[in-house]
Amino acid sequence: MKSIDPWTIDVRGSWLARAALRGLELLRGPLSALGVDVGVARTLLAVRFLLDKRGTFAGLEGQFQTGFVLLLAMGWLSGIGVGIAAVAKLPGSTWVGLIAVHAFVMSLFVMLVHFGTILVDGSDVAPIAARPVSDRTFFAVRLAHLSVYVAAIASTSMFWPLLLGWLAYPWWAILVLVPIAALLGSACAIGVVAAGFSSLLALLGPDRFQRAAFWAQALAAGLFVGGPQLITPILIATLPKDGGAASMLWIEWVPPYCAGALYDLVTLQASATTVERALVAIGAPLVLSVIALLAAARGYVRGISADVVGPLPRTRTWPRISIGRRICRNSDEHAGYGLAAALVFRDKTFLRAVVPLAFALFAGALGGTMPLLREKLALPPVIGALPLYIFAIVVPAVAELLSVTSTPESAAALDALPIQHRVDVLRGALKAMLLRVVAPLFVAGSAFLLVLSHGRIGIHVPIAACGAFAIGLLSVRLLALRMPFSHRPLPGEGSMRNLPVMFGVVGVAILAGGVHFAASLHTLTTIGALILAVLLVPLAWHGLRGIREPRRA
């Protein structure tokens, strides 16, 4: 039997880790010039990959891979559109530019939903903080770690363009340019995110960094979802009315779209600005990465070690306790309620997971209401309320996130208590989460839509809000949940268990939206829908009694 030498940090089993370490070695010269200790960076990076592979506990080792494979599959599927665009026989430079933009958007999305926290996660800093590792080296390791995962996912989107591109363009140009454009787009996105975070650090200092980064992430999530819907009308309004393309030439200079110039360059169709635009495409990610590294030079380790939540305000807690006593059926449930009520606005991992989701949904609802704001479109008022059904997914999503925490070790303290039924603790925590996080979100979302539509969608808002809340609530009993605040998630971690429920909620929400639309055609049925939706909420709340026993870690 082959004996394994324990005195080695072995990452030979991971091709991603090997690629990352090789990349660092190739960049040794420039990185050293920027003040990165490449030897130390290689060791730290190898350790990070090893830790990713091993997970938090032995029983969870498979989960990281599951989430990562899901994202790879998503990247692969997302490339279909750009691949098919080749058949439309767009100009080669436009198509290559689109590939870069697609990789850019895909990478941004992946960072927003999963991997962006690699740059700001302070949970594993402590073992290294007292060792001689410079801020820049530490940042470079995080950046390399992030880059490898994001680039791997973005690169799966190349499959369809590589497969279909030859139908319209020279095969050799496709083989060379598709990977380059995808990687440039991905690198540009990574550079934007990294430079954004490190600029926040440089501007605000380490003590405020985590808080600023947290709100930046939440806003970015909102912009990502709602931004295109908000920007599209503005873009359309600024388009030249005469159909002339001359005034839109500036777009050809915007990275990563300007990577399209590479096509003109390799097919010898260069115009006066082709070389410059190609240089912008290649230079932008480099410049952004250098800015990020330079800005992270001072206080990065201290910055990510700081807390997301500031000092607690001195507030009276009796109203919360009073509500908890009223809605909880026994002491275990009350204990779970108290735990969640205290932690939902303090646990940084939970907040990092939930607040961006809330912002994204808000932005989605806002985007959905945009047609109402356009005076020329005479749509029925109910259309403006239907985006509220998106909110149905908030309930199961936040219920699943209720288990995440920055201090999973504290779950042991909970286990040591004489809890009769763990499911009661979970139910109490769910109630606190529903009252303190989800219900305010629904109220705020409803109020937002009402104000935005100047009250034109009136009665339809409570119907949609109650309907969505009830649908979400009913789904909770189908979920496989963990004990509240008991689990530290890994980057990219995902579980297949609750995915069918999530898809089911989306399906039912769409169906409910259709029923709502049909009911809105007559006043009586509209009133009936309102009564039904309002009655469904307490019924669904009652259904929390049937939630499943929490999963063991």
Partner 1 sequence: MSQPAVSLRGVHHAYLASKPVLDGIDLEVPRGTILGYLGANGAGKSTTIKILLGLLTPRAGEVRVLGLDPRTESLAIKRRVGYVPENALLYDQLTVAETLLLVGRIHGLTDAVVRDRGTAFLDALELSRETNARVATLSKGMRQKVLLSAALLHGPELLFLDEPLSGLDVNAQLLVKRLMRRLADGGRTIFYSSHVLGVVQEICDRVVILDAGRVAVEGTVEEVRNARAGGTLERIFADVTRPEGEEERVAALVAAIS
Pick the stretch among 24-32, 85-93, 121-129, 435-443 that binds partner 1 (CB under 8 A). Answer: 121-129
Residue 2 CB, nearest approach to partner 1 (Å): 14
> From CA 136, how far away is CA 311, in angstroms rounded?
29
Ramachandran bin of 430, using left for φ above 0, alpha for ψ from -120 to 50, beta for the remaining angles: alpha
Q: Applying CB under 8 A, does 7 fall inside the site for partner 1?
A: yes
Block residue for tokens 């997302």: 78
In terms of CB distance, is 412 or 499 closer to partner 1?
412
Q: Applying CB under 8 A, does 43 fall inside the site for partner 1?
A: yes
Which residues from 171-210 bind partner 1, rule CB under 8 A? Answer: none
Residue 354 Cα distances to 113, 344, 494, angstroms: 11, 9, 15
Residue from 381, 377, 522, 383 nearest 458 by CA: 381
In terms of CB distance, is 68 or 109 closer to partner 1?
68
Among 73, 81, 87, 124, binds partner 1 (CB under 8 A): 124
Which three-class secondary structure state does DSSP give residue 482?
strand
The site string for partner 1 over 47-66 (x = CB under 8 A, - otherwise) reads x--xx--xxxx---------
Among 127, 244, 319, 418, binds partner 1 (CB under 8 A): 127
Q: How many residues does the chain have?
A: 553
In terms of CB distance, is 88 or 130 closer to partner 1?
130
Using an 8 Å Cβ cutoff, are 221 and 359 in contact? Answer: yes
Q: Applying CB under 8 A, does 415 fall inside the site for partner 1?
A: no
Pick the stretch among 42-50, 65-73, 177-185, 353-361 that binds partner 1 (CB under 8 A). Answer: 42-50
In terms of CB distance, is 107 or 134 closer to partner 1?
134
Among 77, 84, 129, 175, binds partner 1 (CB under 8 A): 129
Q: Which stretches of 251-306 are DSSP H helices?
A: 261-266, 274-295, 300-305
What is the per-residue burial (b if ≥16 Cβ within 10 Å, else e) of 434-445? bbbbbeebbeeb
Residue 80 Cα distances to 83, 99, 160, 362, 502, angstroms: 5, 11, 5, 28, 24
Pick the stretch among 4-12, 105-113, 211-219, 222-230 that binds partner 1 (CB under 8 A). Answer: 4-12
In terms of CB distance, is 33 or 236 closer to partner 1?
33
Residue 301 CB, nearest approach to partner 1 (Å): 8
Which residues from 264-323 bind partner 1, rule CB under 8 A? Answer: 302, 305, 311
Count, residues near partner 1 per rule CB under 8 A: 29
Q: Applying CB under 8 A, does 39 fall inside the site for partner 1?
A: yes
Among 99, 133, 178, 181, binds partner 1 (CB under 8 A): 133
Residue 344 CB, nearest approach to partner 1 (Å): 23
Ramachandran bin of 31, using left for φ above 0, alpha for ψ from -120 to 50, beta for the remaining angles: alpha
The site string for partner 1 over 417-446 (x = CB under 8 A, - otherwise) reads ------------------------------
**For residue 482, which phi and psi values (nearest 5 degrees)?**
-100, 170
Q: Applying CB under 8 A, does 236 fall inside the site for partner 1?
A: no
Using an 8 Å Cβ cutoff, are 240 and 247 in contact? Answer: yes
> From CA 87, how far away is CA 73, in angstroms rounded?
23
In terms of CB distance, is 47 or 180 closer to partner 1?
47
Residue 118 CB, nearest approach to partner 1 (Å): 16
In terms of CB distance, is 4 or 237 closer to partner 1?
4
Residue 265 CB, nearest approach to partner 1 (Å): 43
In terms of CB distance, is 41 or 164 closer to partner 1?
41
Among 17, 40, 152, 218, binds partner 1 (CB under 8 A): 40
Q: Which stretches of 239-379 are DSSP H helices?
A: 261-266, 274-295, 300-305, 318-327, 331-343, 348-373
Using an 8 Å Cβ cutoff, are 460 and 516 in contact? Answer: yes
In terms of CB distance, is 54 or 346 closer to partner 1?
54
Tally Cβ neighbours within 10 Å of residue 203.
11
Q: Applying CB under 8 A, does 413 fall inside the site for partner 1?
A: no
Q: Applying CB under 8 A, does 131 fall inside the site for partner 1?
A: yes
* 188 contact partners, CB below 8 Å, separation of at least 6: 100, 104, 255, 256, 284, 285, 288
Residue from 362, 320, 408 nearest 55 by CA: 408
In eight-state DSSP terms, residue 259 is: G
Which residues are at the interface with partner 1 (CB under 8 A)? 4, 6-9, 39-40, 43-44, 47, 50-51, 54-57, 124, 126-134, 302, 305, 311
